[in-house]
């Protein structure tokens, strides 16, 4: 299951729209698919291995610019149909543009999953209440029944060469089009017979969580472990029986009980998980993240907010929770032994 649920995080960063020029490129990191090359921009001061966004965030688009961007995003349905050689449907809600050649009933299911996910994240981060800017336009989510068509879309419309080796990709863009901040999540339907749709839900929940967390308040400035831990946690929110999450929690309990795992400074300030096959890294990341959420969701949000504002991770943890790194290490191990 782990290979199917692609932890694509910040996979190939290029234009979310074909006409845009190359984006800010974010540092190489881990991929749950074990196949995606991730590129990130240089980290902000005090965030050496964080998921850094641009130093300067472009001003919000005016209404006319938003409408023009949305028109371009909607036009991707016709462009995708031409690229793959058969009709690609477009569905849309307040936050997502969904492009797919899945059967209609399955398209409706996916739209329901996306809406539920956004609501779950919004209840945590209060983006709607605070009228916060996330991505401009809407998050483009494209799902193709056949891998060959996924590749046609990726290569012909987005020039995404990394897609050839990837199980899919999340692609944020700080584009030149009126300073728009756009993003897309593009995946083929995972193999697995009757389990394909359940696996697809896990992939989309994981990757769209990355998109939300990356853009919330401002692009980037969140550490890899927190990104992956939050994405895996949201898989469990979407499906409490998600087999990958269950397996990772069992692994975290084993690591916590044995005293193994990443040293806490390497886990927080370094690169954890190191790659898609780093089960121990993903397990520790989700345990650390769920320890924070279980302690106090509002403090978790404050922790993220402080880092987004440029506060170094160690200081942000102390200000939000009153914890040192050693305290976090002790607490996640205690939490994993007791709850998993």
Report pLDDT digits (tens) over 210-263: 999 999 999 999 999 999 999 999 999 999 999 999 999 999 999 999 989 999
Residue 23, pLDDT score? 26
Contact 175, 87 (CB under 8 A): no
- Distance CA(44)–CA(40), nearest Å, equals 11
What pLDDT is stored for residue 51 in this prediction? 64
Res 176 pLDDT > 80: no
Yes or no: say if 184 and 15 are a contact pair by the CB < 8 Å rule. no
Confidence of residue 36 (pLDDT cuts 50, 70, 90): very low
Instruction: Name the band, by pLDDT with cuts 50, 70 and 90, for residue 127.
Output: very high
> For 41-92, how does the pLDDT look when each residue is reduced to its tens digit (9 = 90+)?
333 333 333 467 788 888 999 999 999 999 999 999 999 999 999 999 999 9
Q: Number of helices (H) and strands (E), helices first, in the chain?
A: 13, 7
CA distance readout (Å), 65 to 69, 130, 172, 175: 6, 22, 18, 13
Question: 177 or 274: whose pLDDT is higher?
Answer: 274
Q: Is the peptide bond before 176 cis (omega within 30 degrees of 0)?
A: no
- CA R_g for the chain: 19
CB atoms within 10 A of CB 178: 15
- State the maximum Cα–Cα separation within the chain, in Å, rounded to a whole number: 58
The pLDDT mean for the chain works out to: 85
- Decide yes or no: CATH 2.60.40 for domain 50-208: no
What is the CB neighbour count within 10 angstroms for residue 119?
A: 11
Backbone angles phi, psi at 173, to 5 degrees: -140, 125
Q: How confident is the model at residue 29 (pLDDT cuts 50, 70, 90)?
A: very low
At 178, the pLDDT band (50, 70, 90 cuts) reads: low
Q: Note the pLDDT of residue 167.
A: 87
β-pairing verdict for 139-144 and 96-100? parallel
In the chain, where does the domain assigned CATH 3.40.30 lie?
50-208
């Amino acid at each position: 299951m782990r290979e199917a649920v692609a932890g694509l995080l910040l996979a190939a960063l290029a234009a979310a729209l074909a006409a845009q020029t190359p984006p800010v490129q974010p540092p190489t990191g881990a991929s749950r698919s074990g196949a995606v090359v991730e590129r990130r921009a240089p980290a902000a001061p005090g965030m050496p291995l964080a998921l850094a966004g641009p130093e300067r965030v472009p001003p919000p688009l005016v209404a006319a610019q938003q409408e023009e961007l949305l028109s371009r995003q909607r036009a991707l349905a016709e462009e995708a149909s031409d690229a793959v050689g058969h009709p690609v449907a477009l569905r849309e809600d307040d936050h997502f543009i969904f492009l797919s050649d899945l059967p209609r009933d399955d398209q409706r299911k996916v739209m329901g999953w996306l809406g539920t996910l956004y609501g779950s994240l919004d209840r945590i981060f209060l983006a709607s209440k605070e009228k916060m800017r996330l991505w401009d336009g809407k998050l483009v989510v494209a799902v193709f029944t056949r891998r060959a068509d996924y590749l046609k879309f990726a290569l012909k419309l987005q020039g995404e060469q990394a897609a050839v080796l990837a199980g899919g990709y999340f692609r944020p863009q700080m584009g030149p089009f009126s300073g728009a901040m756009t993003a897309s999540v593009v995946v083929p339907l995972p193999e697995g017979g009757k389990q394909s749709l359940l696996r697809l839900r896990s992939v989309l929940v994981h990757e769209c969580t990355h998109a939300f967390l990356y853009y919330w308040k401002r692009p980037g400035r969140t550490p890899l472990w927190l990104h992956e831990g939050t994405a895996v946690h949201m898989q469990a929110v979407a499906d409490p029986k998600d087999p990958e999450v269950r397996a990772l929690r069992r692994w975290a309990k084993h690591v916590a009980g044995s005293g193994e795992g990443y040293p806490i400074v390497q886990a927080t300030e370094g690169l954890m998980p190191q790659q898609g096959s780093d089960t121990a890294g993903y397990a520790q990341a989700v345990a650390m993240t769920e320890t924070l959420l279980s302690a106090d969701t509002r403090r978790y949000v404050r922790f993220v907010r402080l880092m987004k504002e440029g506060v170094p991770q160690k200081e942000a943890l102390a200000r939000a929770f009153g914890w040192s790194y050693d305290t976090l290490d002790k607490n996640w191990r205690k939490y994993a032994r007791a709850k998993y």
